[in-house]
Structure 1
């Protein structure tokens, strides 16, 4: 049996964390591997076992808490475990309580894990383009500060997400970002007529830096291009597959 692959960031050294991919799970078919997507059409028992394996790989004995992600800029502060069916609708989650494994699900969007080791506060954010431009990372930082973190101490890591070479967008998409800030033009490379290649990871890093964070790590891993390691919504869509899996990124105290 293949072990769960744990991808770690140097910026978060000393904090229990990991960006997980497909490896080490029990799902089959288009979900083959460690699919943790509750909302997918995968076998619920397989998803539950994958989630158990994921949490155990990062923080043995901890309770895994995840969100009902809606591409918002909302952050939720968690103090105790809750049932899956009671998941709050939000896209960032923070805590200062030991024994909670904060999980973010992605399949091309950028997972961001954050920690202020000195304050004992951690957070996780789901930054797709909507959440990123809306300020989901800002919301996560503010929620962490409310628990005693200081942004100049917060370290952040951006995990596997769709890379610029794989992320083609149209003129309207690019104009939305340039209307928000003309300097955002630098996150778009020219593509075929009427299209651009968007660097989501660099944009998320920029938002973290603009918020005052100084320790930011980009892992530079492309979910779309690396089928063996990662699930990708866009790749599944391009292939006409009926559904796709989700990978998880976890952090805890």
Structure 2
């Protein structure tokens, strides 16, 4: 595994400081090997803090990292100053108009979404697991950005590495939850290999939500966290292997 942190950039976000980071370039070892930034993991805390420092340095040197205590909600918060690690709000999206802050969303299969309205000087980041996605976390992020002066007609977005349809098997109950919320959601599911199961395209689902909200330019990177062990952490992969823990990667954006 390389010692170099490798930010993945999205053309839709242009010159806005941002990056989707994977597991390369970190100091963690064992099952967390690489750039694990998850304070909630059972990794060595000094390693986690060094990884977070490296992540910031790779995307926006000198910026102050701001992350949340993510709870799979649809709640978005506006950020004006960094939070202490033990005082992070329980939410799943954050927005700011303050230069010098670097918004961070942690994932390990869920969908990281970065937003920007460069003209207004407003950025946002959202953690869209299936619960947050179906309950409107991306809509909440856009609304919070608008309160800071953003215009959804100008907002651009990018979807980073997440679990792909080929790797995301769900059962009938999961499928029905989405189909009952909106029959149109059936288009995001394909037949599974096993009876009574389906393959869910959460990346396409979140992309469609952004389009429905009026976001005209969305880049979906199409990178499968489950399939690329050398590049990304994956909760589902760790679970299937019976591993006792898993790392988290971070997606970053700032002014």
Q: Name the TM tier (shorter chain).
A: over 0.9
Are 1:4 and 2:5 an aligned pair?
yes
What TM-score do you get using the length of structure 2 for normalisation?
0.99
- CA deviations over 1:16-67 (Å, ceiling 9, x no partner): 0000000000000000000000000000000000000001111110000000
Partner of 1:23: 24
Which residue matches 1:210? 212
Match of 1:133 in 2: 134
Whole-angstrom CA distance in 1 between matches of 2:38 and 2:81: 22
Cα distance in 1 for partners of 2:80, 2:40 equals 24
Distance between the aligned counterparts of 1:89 and 1:2, measured in 2?
32
Q: State the match for 1:252 in structure 2.
A: 254
1:69-80 mapped onto 2 (5 Å cutoff): 69-80=70-81
1:1-253 matched pairs, under 5 angstroms: 2-191=3-192, 192-253=194-255
Whole-angstrom CA distance in 2 between matches of 1:124 and 1:252: 9
What secondary structure does 1:54 align onto?
A: helix
Where in structure 2 are there 5+ consecutive unaligned residues?
none
Aligned residues: 253
Deviation of 1:12 (Å): 0.3
For 1:117 and 1:57, the matched residues in 2 are separated by 21
Alpha-carbon distance between aligned partners in 2 of 1:237 and 1:128, rounded to the nearest angstrom: 16
Q: Distance in 2 between matches of 1:81 and 1:32?
A: 27
CA offsets 1:183-228 (integer angstroms, 9 cap, x no match): 0000000012100000000000011011110100100000000000
Distance in 2 between the 1:174 and 1:41 partners? 32
Q: Secondary structure at the match of 2:151?
A: coil
Report SS of the residue matched to 2:103.
Answer: strand
Report the alpha carbon displacement of residue 81 of structure 1 after superposing the two structures with TM.
1.2
Alignment partner of 2:39: what SS? coil
Tell me the distance in 1 between the aligned counterparts of 2:155 and 2:249.
24
List alignment gaps of at least 5 residues for structure 1: none
Runs (4+) of structure 1 moved beyond 3 Å? none
Q: Distance in 1 between matches of 2:187 and 2:211?
A: 15
* TM-score scaled by length of structure 1: 0.99
